[in-house]
Amino acid sequence: LLTVVVFIREEQIDMRLLLGAGLTAMVRKVLVFGVEEVNIGEMVVVVASIIVLTLAMVALTKYKPTVEFA
């Protein structure tokens, strides 16, 4: 919802908000690992996704690129 509000207000997409949403989803998946039966392959993919999303978040925070719509 915050992503939509920021887009409407500024007519820009802040990719950090989208990455934050993805990172939140992956962390929720990790929290469920203890409750559900999970194979090692899925766990590796989720951990790799968290690492990639975190690195992308750091890179975008450092360089702050945005996409503007005309």
Q: Average pLDDT of 29-44? A: 84
In percent, how much of the chain has pLDDT > 70? 81
**What would the two tokens of residue 46 be?**
């989720």
pLDDT at 51 over 90: yes
The pLDDT assigned to 54 comes to 92
In this structure, what is the dihedral angle of CA atoms 27, 63, 14, 6, given to the nearest 10 degrees?
120
Of residues 4, 23, 27, 15, the one with CA closest to residue 61: 15
